[in-house]
Structure 1
Amino acid sequence: MPKSKTNLWQVFKSVAASVLGVQSGANYKSDFEQPSFVPFVIVGVLFVLGLIGMLVLIVNLVL
């Protein structure tokens, strides 16, 4: 029986936890049981681009 789709906030929390390396095993398993991986990819790319943007901003402010 497939699990229900996760909402955007749950996807964001899951991606953030994975990027930071604090994702629990249960959440990790739950993520892979989702019917589509596309929301995770989109949020992951946006998260990484935001992180890069923040780092560039911080470096420009310091220099």
Structure 2
Amino acid sequence: MDDPVDNKPPSLWQMLQSVMAAAFGVQSGKNRERDFTHGKPGHFVILGVLFTAVFGLTLFAIVKLVLYLAGV
């Protein structure tokens, strides 16, 4: 299913997993090879930007919640 020699492009879920793994620096060689061989760069760029925005907004919301609960 996740074989890099498979000629199918990565699914949305596989691309999202790759973006999250790359963001944290733990991407496997097999997945990286699959992404570079069969993936489209634009898809990874869009998912990366969306992931970064959601991650940043989540951190912002957590900080606001902690400050609110601390009474600041």
Give the TM bin, normalised by the shorter chain: 0.7 to 0.9
Unpaired runs of 5+ residues, structure 2, are 1-5, 68-72
Equivalent position of 1:26 in the other structure: 30
Length-normalised TM-score, structure 1? 0.86
Asked if structure 1 preserves the Cα contact closer than 8 Å seen for 2:10 and 2:34, the reply is: no
Moved over 3 A (4+): none
Radius of gyration: which is bigger?
2
The RMSD of aligned alpha carbons is 1.8
Unpaired runs of 5+ residues, structure 1, are none
User: Of the candidates 32, 38, 48, which is equivalent to residue 52 of structure 2?
Assistant: 48
Number of equivalent positions = 63
